[in-house]
Structure 1
Amino acid sequence: MKKKEAVIDTEPSYGPAPLFILSFRQRDELAELAAGAGWRVVAARRAAGAERRFLTSGAAVAVIDARGALGEGREAASAIGGAIAANGGALLALVSRGDTTAIGDFYDAGATHFLASPFSEGEFLQALRYAARHAERMAGEWRATAPAEPLGWRLDVTTRSLLLTPGFARLLDVDEHPKLVALWRRIDPTERRAAMASIRRLSATRQATAFAHDLPGLGRIVQHLQYDVKTGRIDALVEPLGSAPEPASVLRDALIGTRDAGSARRWMDRRLADPDGRPLTAMLVALNRFDMVNAAYGRAAGDALLRAAFKRIEEAASGALVARLGGSEFLVAIEDGGSRVDLVAERIVGDLARPFVTGETIAVLGCRIGVAGREPGDTAASLLRRASEALADARASDSATVRVAEAGGREESIDVLAVELRHAIDRREIDILFQPQVSVPTGAIVGVEALARWDHMLLGTIGADILFAAATRADLEIGLSDHIQRITLERAAAWPAALHGLRLSLNLTAGDIARPGFADLFLDRVDASGFPRSRLTVEIVESGLIEDLGMAATLLATLRSAGVRVAIDDFGTGYSSLAYLKSLPLDYLKIDKKLAQDITGTPRDRVVVRGVIDMARSLGLVVIAEGVETQEQLDLLAKEGCQIYQGFLRSGAISIGALVGLMETAP
């Protein structure tokens, strides 16, 4: 970056606001510079989980610093671009001077502004200013009643003194220095728990968060919180989500705006403002592997794929509003709920799983879908944000293709779980179930995969995805992973004689792999439990969670030399499949559920599955198929050379007692 220059008018025109910055550099000078210019910076260093972090930051402007990290920058832009388009924001991409030819890729992914190095501090801050103005204009298209001045407050944690902005004080009809309890009482009692959980999350290691609630006179709002460690203050930016309907023909706009994201959002706002309260469901559809195809075959092939995907989605969602949001994400808005939405989602998943043919190119994409249904007080902004969060969950999931945002907001449920999780770990409420792995040739159960479950008093049975989301919120990822490993090994070491011949598969997280000295710690844990290393397999997920393949390869080689076997899980869902196979010491390859189920699809589907199995076996890997549900799937997988399967055809995840009973009836 060049020498500092004088800066004029760099403060965001709408007052202090959140800014999301993703940088892969050791020292993020951009975050320091933006914070000094009055932005409330939420900084990230990893592409994994970028979409989730951007959404929860409440920011309208995102910055991706791709200088020296072009591949990671492209991946992050693809992840965030859809959320930018869905929520009417701006994305500033920073590239090295020699990488300006990649600007088109960033634009296709959803970037709205660009800056090539070298650039001065003044030029960077000016670019931020223009990006913020763009976000304002985008929001103005469908947030017509947005306030003209900043709404927010500041709390000194030590003295508990509270200061409101003049606009917020006038809106609430209170003094600018009210008592904290007066502001607290404005929040509905049913939403105070989530609000308190958000405030308690703030710490030196987690300096930004947000929560949503209704506010009399303003409707639904989001409060974006940022904690200043040095001053001990909490700053809050209040974002109103309400909007007024525009006078126009709903039907005409639905027809005219089906291919325009802005028109689609305005149409949704009008439907949500209609007092009839009819159902409205937002469905965000993101194509898998599109970036890989686009990079391999060029933009022309990529554009053709997007047009073909749009057509398939329109046909599958007949009668619904469909729009492309940007990048490889699409919006489907359905004036219905329940079984109609389930049917549309099922059709879209099936249609997008079929191979696409453009010219001489054959591409298998698939998709992930996030779904959110209308709730009281919703606007297009709040409904689409929940759908974006559900889509982020689907992308982060090991196996889920469709995620539905929970009624009342998934965030509130995770907030509750995050508060209670430490006590649940201490009280050993996290249980372990075991899903059988079955030999294809003999039908005998040869192993099991350990799966964590929490039977929550209010929320019912909670699986590993939600468990680890809550653990992330509570900064307990390592603690939860350690706990699951310990109790799984303890349970397996105490198996009755009927289970003594089974292999045990145990999942490792990306956080485990990145921990210094984890191999020695893990092996000590295995030996202390008494479970034999020779019957243990560790599974790692293939969906882009491992950032340093060299570090992962070293760790796994150490475990393998100690007698532990290694499996790559959910193969076929991420972008780095071949790199994983070349770099990591593996014994097993587990085919992703969706890929395994494609075996009963078209002849082309079977060619893809056959290619994966042949490639794995040529590398000396045992192939395990997940999610096998029908005898037809099993028969075709057997013909292609699959050696082991797991799925509901034989059994779901079960207790040790049920597993013993199943073993007694097994061949």
Structure 2
Amino acid sequence: MRDQADRRTLFIVSAEAGEALAACVRVDGWRIVVDGGGDGVAGRALASGADVMLVDTRADAPAGAAATQALGGLAAATGRALIALTADTAWLEDLLAVGATHFSVDRGDAHELRQAIRYAAGQVQRDHSDRRGPRFGANADPADVAAWIDARLDDGEHVGVSIIALSRLDILNAARGRAAGDTLIAAARAQVEAVTRGLLGPAAMVAAAGGGDMIVASAAPPPVLARLAAALDAALAKPLPIRGRQAVLGSRWGMAESGPADDAASLLRRAAEALVAAKASDGATVRVAGPEGAAPLDLLAIDLHLAIERGEIDVLFQPQAPIDGRHVTGVEALARWRHGKLGPLGADALFAAADRADLGVALSDHIQELVLARVARWPRPLAGLRVSLNLTAGDLGRPGFAALFLDRVAASGVPFERLTVEITEGGAIRNLEIAAAVLATLREAGVRVALDDFGTGYSSLAYLTALPLDYLKLDKALACGIEATPRHRGVVRAVMTLARSLGLAVIAEGIESEAQRVLLAAEGCTFYQGFLLAEPLDEAALIAMMEMERC
């Protein structure tokens, strides 16, 4: 007998014939949820855990199209199938345009419809399992990487190579099957590709090297390569979704940077030799070829022990405003490390180094105290601003953290009602029940809660039904993509619909153009932040901005 958590769910939306349709299409081993549609349908579909969604458009094509549109973004964001059941093909193009992934024309044949459901479910599963495309827009292989490296070296560029081997796959395959392992490999590769592309764009490439191995080649100076390694390390440490649950894959790294005599073959060989050493090690999971013998993250971890004492950890504040204007109503506190040699480093590199040095809790405490002390001293122009600060996985898992945090806020003199805490899926997922209890205690005291980076992964969707939230923060890639295609806009629209059904305000991150702001406003976004409004500012610049608003 299949485990309840592994049963597939079919979510049927039908205003009139839902129960009859459920009886007609009953698929062995599936759970069927019937919904009448209307407001909040996306939220109910999400809560059902549906693998396949079926919208009955036969009796009322416009209403069916509206329901399909409401669910289209959810399907796109989660990879789930969305079947439009039609009486004819007249509305077919419209249904596909608003998000249907499959369709079925009703010919009165229940067997045919059941086969369509099975096919859609299987096709979506294969799509996810096959998403191993390692390069930006193409399937690269190691030969492509070698040619790419040689071209950069011929141009005199400094090149770094990381060969990353995912681990624990044998255990995962034995426990959950090879298909689950393939899905997680694809998800991990997508994380690596997204981080690499975001930091370096065309100055880097990612390729599959077989099994769970990846090659990341980058043309950049050593400080940038160190930041990339830190960001990738942090991304791969996050739990990944699999069949409604979570799994954490370990990784081993071999790294090498080009020298005067290197070509692609020698650079890849040295990185591969370093990976062999990392796999053989009981401790160090990252090995760097060359005389230094220490990974960038290890060096950063060593430096971090002194960074707090030296006052190198600082905080900047990025303004937030209602989506319909530029009047600043709040800020997000962003940690920065003013490294003596590498220059400014962002939060990803900072917390990756802290985790490597086992200083995560100490660093988070220091940043919280720093933010609260700054806010408590703010002059009148800043006195009314809400302040968002980030909580880490270590915070959410610490015994007694809620009381500790509330005592810290009370001692600072900052009103609880001015604070919002932000969590990411990596921070909450490690123990969802404990995270929910901590956040509920903070909300009872008046602190608000935001789910950060929403739209970057499937697992964050599950948090909406489990965690006490006030805001969704729409990830930059999703928010900025609203200008791209109707498909992108459909995803954003679905998120907005979902947020409204759950009573959550939406904050869009990374907004860079007026067109993005206008489109997001039209879809119902509540607040925004990004370079269109202002970059992260120090206190002096923030005061100047607020005083200028009052002029």
1:445 equivalent among 318, 328, 339: 328
Question: What amino acid maps onto 2:328 in structure 1?
Answer: I
Q: CA deviation at 1:578?
A: 1.9
Q: Using the alignment, how far apart are the partners of 2:273 and 2:504 within structure 1?
A: 42
Alignment of 1:77-116 (within 5 A): none
Alignment of 1:272-283 (within 5 A): none
Partner of 1:379, secondary structure, is helix
Alignment of 1:160-199 (within 5 A): none
Relative to structure 1, the CA distance from residue 269 to residue 456 in structure 2 (aligned partners, 3 Å threshold; closer, same or farther) is: closer
Q: CA deviation at 1:481?
A: 0.5
Aligned residues: 347
Alignment of 1:189-588 (within 5 A): 261=142, 324-326=208-210, 374-375=258-259, 379-383=267-271, 412-543=295-426, 546-588=429-471
Q: Using the alignment, how far apart are the partners of 1:269 and 1:647 within structure 2?
A: 34
2:484 equivalent among 601, 604, 615: 601
Which residue in 2 is equivalent to 1:92? Answer: none
Task: Could you tell me which runs of 5 or more consecutive residues in structure 2 were left unpaired when the two chains were aligned.
Answer: 1-124, 132-138, 166-171, 195-200, 229-253, 276-287
Contact 2:160–2:256 (8 Å) recurs in 1: yes
Alignment of 1:130-169 (within 5 A): none
Question: What amino acid maps onto 1:557 in structure 2?
Answer: A
Q: Using the alignment, how far apart are the partners of 1:285 and 1:633 within structure 2?
A: 36
Partner of 1:437, secondary structure, is strand
Relative to structure 1, the CA distance from residue 322 to residue 611 in structure 2 (aligned partners, 3 Å threshold; closer, same or farther) is: closer
Deviation digits for residues 434-459 of structure 1 (CA, Å, limit 9, x no counterpart): 11011112321010011112222222
Contact 2:256–2:267 (8 Å) recurs in 1: no
Question: What amino acid maps onto 1:453 in structure 2?
Answer: R
Question: What amino acid maps onto 1:379 in structure 2?
Answer: L
Contact 2:391–2:427 (8 Å) recurs in 1: no
Which residue in 2 is equivalent to 1:624? Answer: 507
Question: What amino acid maps onto 2:450 in structure 1?
Answer: A
Report % sequence identity.
Answer: 51
Contact 2:471–2:506 (8 Å) recurs in 1: yes
Question: What amino acid maps onto 1:325 in structure 2?
Answer: A
Partner of 1:560, secondary structure, is helix
Contact 1:375–1:408 (8 Å) recurs in 2: no
Task: Could you tell me which runs of 5 or more consecutive residues in structure 1 were left unpaired when the two chains were aligned.
Answer: 1-103, 111-257, 346-369, 388-404
Contact 1:557–1:585 (8 Å) recurs in 2: yes
Relative to structure 1, the CA distance from residue 454 to residue 281 in structure 2 (aligned partners, 3 Å threshold; closer, same or farther) is: closer
Contact 2:326–2:533 (8 Å) recurs in 1: no
Partner of 1:577, secondary structure, is helix
Deviation digits for residues 3-37 of structure 1 (CA, Å, limit 9, x no counterpart): xxxxxxxxxxxxxxxxxxxxxxxxxxxxxxxxxxx
Question: What amino acid maps onto 2:258 in structure 1?
Answer: R
1:637 equivalent among 512, 516, 520: 520
Q: Using the alignment, how far apart are the partners of 1:496 and 1:550 within structure 2?
A: 39
Whose RCO is larger (CA < 8 A, sep 6+)?
A: 2
Relative to structure 1, the CA distance from residue 431 to residue 576 in structure 2 (aligned partners, 3 Å threshold; closer, same or farther) is: same
Partner of 1:434, secondary structure, is strand
User: Deviating runs (4+, > 6 A) in structure 1?
Assistant: 274-279, 283-286, 327-330, 370-373, 384-387, 407-410
Q: Using the alignment, how far apart are the partners of 1:270 and 1:449 within structure 2?
A: 39
Which residue in 1 is equivalent to 2:548? Answer: 665
Contact 1:543–1:573 (8 Å) recurs in 2: no
Q: CA deviation at 1:474?
A: 2.0
Deviation digits for residues 265-301 of structure 1 (CA, Å, limit 9, x no counterpart): 8x579969x9998866658899xxxx9xxx9xx99x9
Q: Using the alignment, how far apart are the partners of 2:520 and 2:352 within structure 1?
A: 34
Deviation digits for residues 123-149 of structure 1 (CA, Å, limit 9, x no counterpart): xxxxxxxxxxxxxxxxxxxxxxxxxxx
RMSD: 4.7
Relative to structure 1, the CA distance from residue 600 to residue 516 in structure 2 (aligned partners, 3 Å threshold; closer, same or farther) is: same
More helix as a share of residues: 2
Contact 2:354–2:363 (8 Å) recurs in 1: yes
Alignment of 1:37-52 (within 5 A): none
Relative to structure 1, the CA distance from residue 337 to residue 646 in structure 2 (aligned partners, 3 Å threshold; closer, same or farther) is: closer
Q: Using the alignment, how far apart are the partners of 2:543 and 2:293 within structure 1?
A: 36
Partner of 2:209, secondary structure, is strand
Partner of 1:525, secondary structure, is helix
Q: CA deviation at 1:321?
A: 9.6
Question: What amino acid maps onto 1:477 in structure 2?
Answer: G
Q: Using the alignment, how far apart are the partners of 1:629 and 1:510 within structure 2?
A: 30
Which residue in 1 is equivalent to 2:47? Answer: none
Q: Using the alignment, how far apart are the partners of 1:652 and 1:628 within structure 2?
A: 10
Partner of 1:484, secondary structure, is helix
Deviation digits for residues 599-630 of structure 1 (CA, Å, limit 9, x no counterpart): 01011011011111111122111100000011
Contact 1:552–1:584 (8 Å) recurs in 2: yes
Contact 2:162–2:271 (8 Å) recurs in 1: no
Q: Using the alignment, how far apart are the partners of 1:637 and 1:483 within structure 2?
A: 35
Alignment of 1:22-37 (within 5 A): none
**Structure 1 length normalisation: TM-score?**
0.45
Q: Using the alignment, how far apart are the partners of 2:512 and 2:353 within structure 1?
A: 30
Q: Using the alignment, how far apart are the partners of 2:419 and 2:206 within structure 1?
A: 48
Question: What amino acid maps onto 1:577 in structure 2?
Answer: S
Question: What amino acid maps onto 1:606 in structure 2?
Answer: R
2:493 equivalent among 610, 627, 636: 610
Relative to structure 1, the CA distance from residue 271 to residue 653 in structure 2 (aligned partners, 3 Å threshold; closer, same or farther) is: closer
Question: What amino acid maps onto 1:519 in structure 2?
Answer: A
Of the structure 1 ranges 570-579 and 541-550, higher mean CA displacement relative to structure 2 is found in: 541-550
Q: CA deviation at 1:412?
A: 4.5
Question: What amino acid maps onto 2:504 in structure 1?
Answer: L
Q: Using the alignment, how far apart are the partners of 2:149 and 2:523 within structure 1?
A: 53
Deviation digits for residues 353-397 of structure 1 (CA, Å, limit 9, x no counterpart): xxxxxxxxxxxxxxxxx998634565314447999xxxxxxxxxx
Relative to structure 1, the CA distance from residue 322 to residue 553 in structure 2 (aligned partners, 3 Å threshold; closer, same or farther) is: closer
Contact 2:162–2:216 (8 Å) recurs in 1: yes
Deviation digits for residues 83-112 of structure 1 (CA, Å, limit 9, x no counterpart): xxxxxxxxxxxxxxxxxxxxx99xx799xx
Q: Using the alignment, how far apart are the partners of 2:162 and 2:353 within structure 1?
A: 24
Question: What amino acid maps onto 1:374 in structure 2?
Answer: S
**Structure 2 length normalisation: TM-score?**
0.54
Q: CA deviation at 1:426?
A: 2.9
Relative to structure 1, the CA distance from residue 332 to residue 484 in structure 2 (aligned partners, 3 Å threshold; closer, same or farther) is: closer
Relative to structure 1, the CA distance from residue 321 to residue 448 in structure 2 (aligned partners, 3 Å threshold; closer, same or farther) is: closer
